Structure 1
Amino acid sequence: MNNEFYVGWGTLALINAGLAQGKNRSGLNWFLLSLLLGPIATFCLVISDKK
């Protein structure tokens, strides 16, 4: 795999952490979850309601 893939995946995880904090959820937990699940975690965040 090339480095661009890792940079994109890491950027997505940071975006998800920001989305999570905007919905009053733990940014760190969602960042770590996003490193594992990537776009699936983004989808879960987008459809979830604000806490």
Structure 2
Amino acid sequence: MDNGYVVGWGTLALINAGLAQGKNRSGLMWFLLSLLLGPIATFILVVLDKLAEEGSGRDD
């Protein structure tokens, strides 16, 4: 397997983890999911809405 491919896939997983945390989701779970799904996980994260923060007092 080409090293560039592995580095790119791992970088995408790290980016997805940061994106997930920015949307109040589990960074670790999305990192692991991204290792399996790659760009599909990125698309899912972009489409998902941001979760309300715990203790924010919002009842939706």
TM-score under structure 2 normalisation? Answer: 0.84
Q: Max radius of gyration: which structure?
A: 2
List alignment gaps of at least 5 residues for structure 1.
none
Partner of 1:47: 47
Number of residue pairs aligned between Structure 1 and Structure 2: 51
Bigger proportion of residues as helix: 1
Taking only the aligned residue pairs, the percentage that are identical comes to: 82
Report matched runs for 1:1-51 at 5 Å: 1-51=1-51
TM-score under structure 1 normalisation? Answer: 0.99
List alignment gaps of at least 5 residues for structure 2.
52-60
Q: Which structure carries more relative contact order (alpha carbon 8 Å, separation 6+)?
A: 1
Q: Which runs of 4+ in 1 moved over 3 A?
A: none
